[in-house]
Amino acid sequence: MEQIRKRQLNKKATKQRILKRFQSRSAATYFVISLAILLVTMILSVSYGAAQINWTVIRESLMHFDVQNTQHLILYDLRFPRVLAAALIGAFLAISGVIMQGLTRNPLASPSIMGVSSGAGFMMALALAFFPHTSQFGLILWAFTGAGIGASMVFSVGLFSKRGLTPVKLALAGAAVSALLQSASTMLAMYFNVTRDISFWYAGNIAGIPASSVRLALIIAVIGFVSAGLLSRSLTLMSLGDEVAKGLGQRTGLVRVCGILIVLLLTGTAVSISGTIGFIGLIIPHITKKMIGMDYRWLIPFSAVIGAWLLVTADIAARMVNPPYETPVGALTALIGVPFFLFLARREGGGLI
Partner 1 sequence: MKHLWTTSVMLSASFMLAACGNSQVEAPEEETTEIPEEAAEGPKTLIDGLGNEVEIPSNPEKVLGSYLEDYLVSLDVTPVAQWSVSDGESIQDYLQEDLSGVPLIPHDLPYESVLEYEPDLMIIRDAVEQDMYEQYAQIAPTYVLKSSPTEWRETLTEVGEVLGMEGKAESVLETYDAKAQEKAEELSAVADSESAAAVWMVNNSLFVVHPERSSGAVMYGDLGLEIPEVVSNLSSDADWAAISLEELAQMDVDHLFFVNSDGPEAELFEDRLWQNIPAVQQDQVYQYGPETSWLYYGPIASEQVLDNVVDSITK
Partner 2 sequence: MIFKNIHYLILALIFIIILMGILSLATGHLAISPSELVETALGEGSRRNELLLFEFRLPRLFIAILAGAALGVAGTLLQGITQNELADPGILGINAGAGLSVVLYLTYVSNRETTSPLGQMMTLPFAAFLGGLLAACCIYIVAWKNGVTPIRLILVGIGVNAGFGAVLTLFQLRMNQSAFNQVTVWLSGSIWNAHWSAVISLLPWVFILIPLSLYKSRTLNLLQLGDEMATGLGINTERERIKLVAIAVALTGASVSVAGGISFLGLGAPHIARKLVGNKHQRLVPTAACIGALILLISDMIARNLFAPSELPVGLIVAFLGAPYFIYLLITTEA
User: In the complex, which residues of this chain contact partner 2 (CB under 8 A)?
Assistant: 153, 157, 160-163, 166-169, 171-173, 175-177, 179-180, 182-184, 186-187, 190-191, 199, 203, 278, 322, 325, 327-328, 330-332, 334-335, 337-339, 341-342, 345-346, 348-350, 353
Write 35-41 long-range contacts (CB < 8 A, 24+).
35/305, 37/309, 38/87, 38/305, 38/308, 38/309, 38/312, 41/309, 41/312, 41/313, 41/316
- Of the candidates 204, 220, 195, 80, the one whose C-alpha atom is nearest the C-alpha of residue 137 is 220
Q: Is 49 in the site for partner 1 (CB under 8 A)?
A: yes
Task: Tell me whether residue 75 or residue 151 sits nearer to partner 2 (CB atom).
Answer: 151
Give residues 307-326 in contact with partner 1 (rule: CB under 8 A): 324-326
List the single partner that 169 binds among partner 2, partner 1, none, CB under 5 to 8 Å by kind: partner 2
In the chain, the amino acid numbered 209 is: I
CA–CA distances in Å: residue 271 to residues 34, 169, 199, 224, 227: 25, 24, 13, 15, 20
List the single partner that 186 binds among partner 1, partner 2, none, CB under 5 to 8 Å by kind: partner 2
In the chain, the amino acid numbered 135 is: S
Write 289-293 long-range contacts (CB < 8 A, 24+).
291/30, 292/24, 292/26, 292/27, 292/30, 292/31, 293/22, 293/23, 293/24, 293/27
| Residue 250 beta carbon to partner 1: minimum distance, rounded to whole angstroms | 38
Taking CB under 8 A as the binding criterion, the range among 20-28, 44-52, 144-152, 297-305 that sits at the site for partner 1 is: 44-52
Q: Is 3 in the site for partner 1 (CB under 8 A)?
A: no
CA–CA distances in Å: residue 174 to residues 86, 170, 206, 330: 25, 6, 24, 18
Task: Tell me whether residue 121 or residue 259 sits nearer to partner 1 (CB atom).
Answer: 121
Answer whether 281's CB lies under 8 Å from 103's CB.
no
| Residue 311 beta carbon to partner 2: minimum distance, rounded to whole angstroms | 16
Give residues 58-117 in contact with partner 1 (rule: CB under 8 A): 67-68, 70, 73-74, 77-79
Task: Tell me whether residue 101 or residue 205 sits nearer to partner 1 (CB atom).
Answer: 205
Task: Tell me whether residue 126 or residue 284 sits nearer to partner 1 (CB atom).
Answer: 126
Q: Which of 105, 129, 155, 210 binds partner 1 (CB under 8 A)?
A: 210
Binding mask 248-287 for partner 1 (x = CB under 8 A): ------------------------xx--------------
Q: Is 175 in the site for partner 1 (CB under 8 A)?
A: no
For residue 90, what is the DSSP state?
H
CA–CA distances in Å: residue 13 to residues 97, 240, 251: 30, 16, 18
d(CA 220, CA 241): 30
Answer whether 297's CB lies under 8 Å from 229's CB.
yes
Q: What SS3 state is found at 275?
A: coil
Q: Which of 108, 120, 124, 216 binds partner 1 (CB under 8 A)?
A: 124
Q: Which of 23, 136, 166, 252 binds partner 1 (CB under 8 A)?
A: 136
List the single partner that 15 binds among partner 1, partner 2, none, CB under 5 to 8 Å by kind: none
Phi, psi of 322 (to 5 degrees): -145, 60
| Residues that bind partner 1 in the complex, under the rule CB under 8 A | 49-51, 67-68, 70, 73-74, 77-79, 124, 136, 139, 193, 195-197, 199-200, 203, 205, 207-210, 213, 272-273, 324-326, 328
